[in-house]
Chains A and B, each alone.
Chain A
Amino acid sequence: MSLSAVAPRHADHAAPGRTRRLILTILGPVLLLTVSLAVARLYDDDPGRVLSAGWPVDPRYEFTWRDVSAQPAFGMMVWFEAFLVVSFLYYWRLPRVQRVLVATGFAMGLTVPAAGVLSMLAPVVAAGSTSSAGRPPWYLAVEIAAGAGAFALGWRAAGPSPRPPEVTAAPPPHAPAMALGPRQRALFTASSWSVRNLLLATAVATVTALTAVLWADYEWQRVVLLAGTAVFVAAQARTRLQIDASGVTLRVPWVPFLSRTVPYALIRFAEARNEPPRRREGPAGGEPADGPPPGRYVLGDSAAGWGVVSGKGPVLVLSLADDRWFVYSTREARDAAALVNGELRRQRQAGTAEC
């Protein structure tokens, strides 16, 4: 039976600050063009040096549409802008992702001119060598630091994300719930391996090995980045679910900063399903089944929700206050759902009694 029909839906909780986040998202790529143009102007007496350093700007420009739109940086700006704005529209109701987009826009917009300035300052480049292999060792570290700083600036400029409204209604009466005594405490734990992440990590590791073998002399920075990516993706393959008095926590033991807790105040109800969300079969084929829509339930946010789905086994499904879903594969999904509903019922009945 579907429980979603009885769950109340809320107004657009992502609206506060969305215009500001959209403007800041658009601003990021604009910075790429304007800052690049402004800084390149400082070198207009030596345009050959700027061009040989790989800048996406020719400093011999006039402030006309024709000149500005002819700059390579203009093309980069248009592509970044399109990517960010389309992503923003796709995640229209996800302020947390919008904040990441603002930060990404700032990182894109400021890293490119920063890299240009670094190219000009790097003594080897200044001496005439433009190959990445000829760059001094500090170059990559400073470039990454500049990108991280720009990301942090965008993150701060976007401001805190609005919180979804807290749920106060008890789960539906027919939702499976564990009877918890007034002082009883419970802990549920489960763990899962993501085959998808392992496969992805293997693919990236293969590309890393090929790059190392074929281009290590010229592209060692790329090899390091690829190897780091492979390790990062593989480290997300192992996850743990923990349900206790504080809420539902998804832990990534090898990447602790990706761990997240869903407090009970942001959960409407829980249910157990025999298999992950998929499209309904039959005459109405193609229509989403009741409950969570088919979608990607991974550690990162998507419009449908987030979580960890591995294989075709049972899943714990949480209906969240922001109209999305949390889905986690565990063979003990029934126990987990009953515990969440039991805790919700106990907390919300106690809350009602206090009023």
Chain B
Amino acid sequence: MLITVDPSSAQPLADQVADSVRVALADGRAAPGDRLPSARTVAAALDINLHTVLRGYQQLREEGLVELRRGRAAVITGQADGLRLRLAAAAEEFARAARQAGASTEEALAAAREALAR
């Protein structure tokens, strides 16, 4: 499991932690039953606050991607839907590229519809 954060990014650190796990699930590098590193380990290794990591893990729990139990490792659930996650990751990447290019939401959606129609 690879988790990366960039403090210079505008994206909140907790979101970056959650995104790392989503990306790993989307491209098949993580699978149901895999354990996430403990929040304490992530916080110490990435030099971020423990509660930030827990917020990121909580997002994944609310999405049904991981199971969190007190005192036990976070485990990826069987509900992690590969197709949905792949689409979500691709959409995330597309949205980032569109924002960088300065496109409006309408322009970006139009471009996506056009690409799908081909």
Q: Which residues of A contact B (CB under 8 A)?
A: 181-191, 242, 244-246, 332, 335, 339
Contact = CB atoms under 8 A, between A and B. Distances in A.
Contacts of B47: 185, 245
Interface in B26-67: 29, 35, 37, 41-42, 45-48
B3 interface: yes
Interface stretch (B5-13, B84-92, B93-101, B105-113): B5-13
Nearest to B43: A187
Contacts of A184: 4-6
A190 B1 contact: yes
A68 B47 CA distance: 64
Interface of B: 1-8, 29, 35, 37, 41-42, 45-48
Contact of A242 (B4, B7, B8, B41): B41
B2 A186 contact: yes
A257 B3 CA distance: 26
B2 A187 contact: yes
A181 B1 contact: no
B37 A185 contact: no
B45 A242 contact: yes
A186 B4 contact: yes
Which of B3, B4, B42 gathers the greatest number of chain A CB atoms within 10 Å? Answer: B4
A181 B46 CA distance: 14
A183 B3 CA distance: 14
Contacts of B2: 186-188, 332, 335, 339
B8 A244 contact: no
Given A332-B2, A339-B2, A189 B8 contact: no
A339 B46 CA distance: 14
Contacts of A186: 2-4, 46
Contact of A187 (B6, B7, B42): B42
23 contacts: A181-B8, A183-B6, A183-B7, A183-B8, A184-B4, A184-B6, A185-B47, A186-B2, A186-B3, A186-B46, A187-B2, A187-B37, A187-B41, A187-B45, A187-B46, A188-B3, A189-B1, A189-B37, A189-B41, A244-B46, A245-B45, A246-B45, A332-B29
